[in-house]
Amino acid sequence: MSVFHSTPSVPDRHPVSTPTTGASEATATPRTAPDPSLSEIDPKPLPQYSLGKILAVWAGAALPMAAMAWLVAPGLAGAFADRTAWPKALALSLTAGLIWQFVLVLLLVHREQGTLRWSVLKDALWLRAPRSPRTGRRGGWLWLLAGPFVILVYAREEVPKIPAPVGRDLGDFLQSAVGQEFFSGNWPWFAVIVVMGIFNTVLGEELMFRGLLLPRMQGVFGKWDWVANGVLFAFYHLHVPWAIPGRFLNIFILSFPAKRYRSAVLSIIAHSSQTVVFSILLLLLVLG
């Protein structure tokens, strides 16, 4: 299914004037300005992807990340001759994969829209304030909805997980004595981790899945596009396959709010909450 772009009727620029009396002019109903808190459901209809294109974009994000984790990182580890070689290689490889996702999103949007101006980009990637599905109002108290989804992100971490292979979990490394010693006063690698976090939850995964893919999946999946989006996002984690089962919870934590309120910003806030806290804790470690 594709979204059809309906052309609104254009009023005549030079309407024929009709003689009016002074009384009728005095009693004419004044023109009321539109409520700025109300906006159109979709300012510009977005094209709908075919199933083949959805899977191709998914592969364009998932396969490079898998290659970086399982092929590039082991080779890169050989370039570091110390006991932190593997974590450093993994961090650099995954950061490169996430930056590629950002580049891919921009390439696809530019090809589709013909420009990367912010006025176009914010609608093309749902980078807008949340919109009430009942009233159409944007922003306001709706921003408070981010709170429960942030809590759910942290609650998800309490769900039992499949253990990661030794050395594959950067979180374990940062909690180890070796990791804490490595990051103490280490500003360059602190910057690498912060950049990885930004491209992970703001400019990479969320921009790709909730910003680009979700608004273009309704043509294939209808009202269940948010469920399909969450499933694709779970299986995207080929670079950390042990995390895939737990990532199905993101169907409700990330995909659902983005679809219901037509805003990828809500999912970006929820997904980024851990990155913010983690970066603060890491900063304290660097300063210590």
CA separation, residue 127 to residues 148, 159, 180, 208, 210 (Å):
20, 30, 36, 12, 10
Provide CB contacts within 8 A for 266, sequence distance 6+. Answer: 130, 145, 146, 149, 257, 258
Give residue for tokens 């804490």.
180
Which pLDDT tens digit goes with each residue over 77-86?
888 877 888 8
Query: 143: which 2 tokens?
Result: 């921003």
CA separation, residue 276 to residues 104, 150, 163, 219, 267 (Å):
25, 12, 24, 35, 14
Which pLDDT tens digit goes with each residue over 189-246?
899 999 999 998 889 899 999 999 999 999 999 999 999 999 999 999 999 998 898 8
* Domain extents in the chain: 48-287
Question: What's the rounded Cα separation, in Å, for the pair 118 and 274?
Answer: 27
Which pLDDT tens digit goes with each residue over 93-120?
999 999 999 999 999 999 999 999 998 9
Provide CB contacts within 8 A for 190, sequence distance 6+. Answer: 183, 282, 283, 286
pTM over 0.75: yes
Provide CB contacts within 8 A for 145, sequence distance 6+. Answer: 130, 257, 261, 266
